[in-house]
Amino acid sequence: MKFVVAVKQVPDTAEVRIDPERGTLIRDGVPSIMNPFDAYALEEALKWRDELGGIVTVITMGPPQAEAVLREAISMGADDAILVSDRAFAGADTWATSHTLAAAVTQLGDVDAVFFGKQAIDGDTAQTGPSVAASLDWPQITFIGKVRELNEKQITAERYVETGTQVVQADLPVVVTILKDANVPRVPSLRGKMKSRKAQIPVWGLVDLGLTEEETGLNGSPTKVVVTATPEARTGGQIHEGSTEELVSKLADLLLGEEGGE
């Protein structure tokens, strides 16, 4: 079996702050990590590879330093990795990103399944996986909480959605997006880390993928960000002190005063 896992390098949102003036992320000094949901996608692919045999190739689209997440994936057990990187890819929205990633999957050839995390924690769109499926014209199963069965021909998976669980079957090749319910991602192994240090990671750019500048990056992105703004910070509210009786009557007055408007 030939599995691809698409991962993304994201700023560690636990450490990220927002510049209130400009409404943008302050990325200086913020560590970059593998998008946490992608670890579940990777584990799922590794698990099925371990069972069925085959290889897991990790891909990411990003700047040269995004190679770090590919090495991390190799340390966890991925067989090889491709960095999809080109100046022309910069500023891509989810459409242009998906178009580019789909080209990379096509280039790899004979892929049975592409695994995504359910969404990235920076953009939070959850669009790239489904959009790659559309670009490839492959079936997709999103929000998978459990892969029931995977074989050479088909996948059967449980989608965890608001209304309950859907059991969905699709023919391969397929694109799937994985929830954190699906598994517990493995810890990197020592041999994996040794391998990841030495791994040669090819870089595929515009020419390698046979794409044009018009269909990639900012040029290929129909979405334009008009403005980003930060919601106003909440103020602390009021603190009242006193006995329970006093506080209850004060609270009642305040609520009636604001809501009731006698």
Partner 1 sequence: MDYMLNEDLLAIKEICTEIGDKHILPIRAELDEENKFPREIMNVIAQSDLFTIYIPEAYGGTGMGSMALAVATEELSRYCGGVAVSYAANALGAMPILLMGSEEQKKKYLPMLASGEKLCAFALTESEAGSDAGGVKTRAIKDGDHYILNGTKQWITNGGEAQIYTVIALTDPERGARGASAFIVEEGTPGFSYGKKEDKMGIRASATRELVFEDCRIPAENLISREGFGFMVAMKTLDNSRPGVAAQAVGIAQGALDEALKYAEQRKQFGVKINSFQGLQFMLADMGTQIEAARALTYAAAGLIDSGSKNFNKVSAMAKVFASDVAMKVTVDAVQILGGYGYMKEYPVEKMMRDAKITQIYEGTNQIQRSVIAKAMIKEAKRK
What residue ranges bind partner 1 (CB under 8 A)? 186-194, 197
Judge whether 177 and 193 are in contact, CB under 8 Å: no
| Nearest residue (CB) to partner 1, 17 versus 197 | 197
| Nearest residue (CB) to partner 1, 46 versus 82 | 46
For residues 212 and 220, what is the distance between their CA atoms, to the nearest angstrom?
A: 9
Provide φ and ψ at 157, rounded to 5°.
-140, 155
For residues 53 and 62, what is the distance between their CA atoms, to the nearest angstrom?
A: 29
Q: Which residue has the tokens 């999809």?
A: 84
Q: Which amino acid is at 51?
A: E
Shortest reach from residue 91's CB to partner 1, in Å: 34
| Nearest residue (CB) to partner 1, 146 versus 186 | 186
| Nearest residue (CB) to partner 1, 190 versus 239 | 190
Shortest reach from residue 198's CB to partner 1, in Å: 11
| Nearest residue (CB) to partner 1, 2 versus 193 | 193
| Nearest residue (CB) to partner 1, 187 versus 229 | 187
The closest alpha carbon to 177, from 130, 138, 120, 122, belongs to 130
| Nearest residue (CB) to partner 1, 194 versus 203 | 194
Shortest reach from residue 202's CB to partner 1, in Å: 23
Shortest reach from residue 195's CB to partner 1, in Å: 11
Q: Which amino acid is at 68?
A: A
- Indicate the pairing of strand 32-34 with strand 140-150: unpaired
For residues 37 and 32, what is the distance between their CA atoms, to the nearest angstrom?
A: 14
For residues 51 and 171, what is the distance between their CA atoms, to the nearest angstrom?
A: 19
Shortest reach from residue 189's CB to partner 1, in Å: 4
Task: Assign 3-class secondary structure to 76-126.
Answer: HCCCEEEEECCHHHCCCCHHHHHHHHHHHHHHHCCCCEEEEECCCCCCCCC
Shortest reach from residue 75's CB to partner 1, in Å: 8
For residues 212 and 231, what is the distance between their CA atoms, to the nearest angstrom?
A: 38
At how many degrees (to 10) do helices 190-198 and 67-76 cross? Answer: 140
Shortest reach from residue 228's CB to partner 1, in Å: 33
Judge whether 25 and 49 are in contact, CB under 8 Å: no
